Amino acid sequence: MALTTLDPRTALVVIDLQNGIVGMPTQPHTGSEVVARTVELADAFRARNLPVVLVRVSFAADGSDAVPGRTDQQRGARAFSEGWDLVVDELAGHPGDIHVTKHNWGAFHGTDLDVQLRRRGVTQIVLTGIATSIGVESTARAAYEHGYHVTLATDAMADASPEAHRNSLEWIFPRLGESGTTAEVLELLAKTHAV
């Protein structure tokens, strides 16, 4: 389905493009490609005075704020390098951006993301980030449930699993919103939002 519109108050929401995540092996796009496309979108949103939200995931060094619960997949203790949870330099350093730190997969639960968006009159979000089937999909689901129009920039996201990425794009995202490439989002933004 083609992108139809971008609301007057649309925000770019960037999921987990941080030092310790963008270097992981991802498909079908590398972390560097996802960052580069997200930078294009962020620059275009900022030029139009539209909100850019940089979401990062972080945990206490002792793991005390990690999500509890039993899972089939072992989570075990992880050692994080210094600065792993900092937003990548290519996206950082813009004082007008909104910063959200999450401790879960999705960016809404346990954060002030919804308040930040509603205070700015945002009715639609464009999502990018890593990983497609985890942080991006969880945030897209919650955004839909919160009543936002959801747009997914499909070539500005990637996953460790090509099957999981494809499942999100083909089965989940069409039920939550509209999808398009970075170029398609930029083209629609240029048509609907003057600089």
* Under 8 Å between Cβ of 55 and 16: yes
- Rounded to two decimals, the pTM is 0.95
124-176 pLDDT per residue, tens: 999 999 999 999 999 999 999 999 999 999 999 999 999 999 999 999 999 99
* Under 8 Å between Cβ of 116 and 98: yes
pLDDT for position 62: 67
CA atoms within 13 A on the CB side of 174: 7
Lowest mean pLDDT among 3-17, 66-80, 98-112: 66-80
CATH number 1.20.272.10 is the correct assignment for the domain at 10-58+84-192: no
Closest CA to 138 of 162, 174, 180, 107: 107
Which H, E and C letters describe 24-91, residue by residue?
Answer: CCCECCCHHHHHHHHHHHHHHHHHCCCCEEEEEECCCCCCCCCCCCCCCCCCCCCCCCCCCCCECCCC
What is the torsional sign of CA 110, 96, 124, 106? negative
11-39 pLDDT per residue, tens: 999 999 999 999 999 999 999 999 999 99
* Under 8 Å between Cβ of 157 and 29: yes
112-124 pLDDT per residue, tens: 999 999 999 999 9
Separation of alpha carbons 16 and 104, rounded Å: 11
Q: How confident is the model at residue 76 (pLDDT cuts 50, 70, 90)?
A: low
CB atoms inside a 10 Å sphere around CB 43: 15
Domain boundaries, the chain: 10-58+84-192
CB atoms inside a 10 Å sphere around CB 144: 16
54-75 pLDDT per residue, tens: 999 998 776 677 777 777 877 6
Closest CA to 128 of 88, 95, 96: 88
